[in-house]
Amino acid sequence: MSAGQNPRHRNQIDTIEETLIAVILGLMTVITFANVIARYIFNSNILWALEATSFLFAWLVLLGMSYAVKKSTHLGVDAMINLLPSGPRKVLALIAIACCIAYTLLLLKGSWDYWWKFATTASFLEVDDIPMPGFLQFLADWLNDGEAYEKIPRYIPYLVLPVGMALLLLRFVQAGWRVWTGQQQSIIASHEAEEMVHEAAAVAERED
């Protein structure tokens, strides 16, 4: 933990992110299950279920990848890197993070340009099936010349694109700082194969 960082504040942020990801996953499960029940028991269909789960899955992936960077749970190949001393290993980790930051900046620029079009000149465009909740109709006064939306406008689900890329950029910057200050050695997950070897060795020792 970096100096001056409040553990309670950090845990609250983690809780918010984890809760949001869990809620999205839960909504996907509930909507899919309800649609299965409606189709096979009541011979009906929730028209907007497939589209809603597709958007929720996109939110889950884009928010989850930044959270995985923060928790260093992305998988990677580090067999060669681990052969190096700590100094060169740290340099390579920083180079890798710099490449990730540069790539994320490009993604952020592209995602913002893409979303901004739907929030301005194409704000009238709606999704195919998901009905517009009444409590969000105030957006029509702001962005659609007062004409009520029948379906949710595309700029709502597409908002996850710039938000997700901004969060990913933040996480890579934070990871770079942690590597620079020696709080962690890389941005990928621990060595699963090495852990399995240790577990097997421990089992063998107990059997002996």
pLDDT along the chain (208 residues), means of 10: 50 79 94 93 90 95 90 72 75 90 97 96 94 93 91 96 93 90 76 56 68
Backbone angle region of 145, left / alpha / beta, with phi > 0 → left and psi within -120 to 50 → alpha: left
In this structure, is residue 87 part of a structural domain?
yes
Number of domains comprising the chain: 1
3 state DSSP class of 121: coil
Q: 151 - beta bridge partners?
A: 131
Does the residue 164 lie in any domain? Answer: yes
Residue 19 contacts residue 29 (beta carbons within 8 Å): no
Q: Classify residue 198: in a domain, yes or no.
A: no
pLDDT score, position 206:
72
In a domain, residue 117? The reply is yes
Q: Is residue 107 part of a domain?
A: yes
Quote the pLDDT of residue 2.
40
Q: Point out which residues pair with 131 in neighbouring strands.
A: 151
Closest listed residue to residue 149, CA positions, set 136, 160, 159, 161: 136
Distance between CA atoms of residues 98 and 101, nearest Å:
5
* pLDDT number for residue 12: 75
CA distances from 160 to 9, 117, 174, 182 (A): 24, 14, 20, 32
Predicted confidence at residue 145, as pLDDT, reads: 87
Domain span holding position 43: 7-190
- Could you tell me which of 112, 130, 111 has the C-alpha nearest to residue 55? 130
* 115 part of a folded domain: yes
Residue 200 counted as domain residue = no
Task: Please check whether residue 16 lies inside any domain of the structure.
Answer: yes
